Amino acid sequence: DARVTQTPRHKVTEMGQEVTMRCQPILGHNTVFWYRQTMMQGLELLAYFRNRAPLDDSGMPKDRFSAEMPDATLATLKIQPSEPRDSAVYFCASGLDYGTPTYEQYFGPGTRLTVT
């Protein structure tokens, strides 16, 4: 049963520290998405990739956030320096943009980040 995996599942860190979240998309999927979920803002798209190339990162605060796909099996989201307002659940999702009528996205379990 193919799944998107994310590590770590939980992260507590102090303000100012660097945070790196990792995602392994489903093998063969060519699109990867990073979302952030908070009570106030709901689910927001931060960035997404197609065939490892960044397509849209307009939802991401550029001064502290960065997203990369070093290879097809790994996507990373970094926050440096972290701030308390970054506390949220960060979801990674992957999908296919061809050969499917729905282009549905499969979500990982999320990383719950708390910045104190």
Whole-angstrom distance, CA of residue 110 vs CA of residue 107: 8
Q: Which of 33, 69, 82, 113 touches another protein (CB under 8 A)?
A: 33
Interaction of residue 109 with another protein, rule CB under 8 A: yes
Least distance from another protein to the Cβ atom of residue 100, Å: 10
Could you tell me if 23 and 75 are in contact, meaning their C-beta atoms sit under 8 angstroms apart? yes
Query: Which of 33, 65 has the CB closer to another protein?
Result: 33
Give me the count of residues in the chain.
Answer: 116
Q: What is the closest distance, in whole angstroms, from the C-beta atom of residue 39 to another protein in the complex? A: 10
Q: 107 near 21, Cβ under 8 Å? A: no
Residue of 20, 66, 78, 107 that binds another protein (CB under 8 A): 107
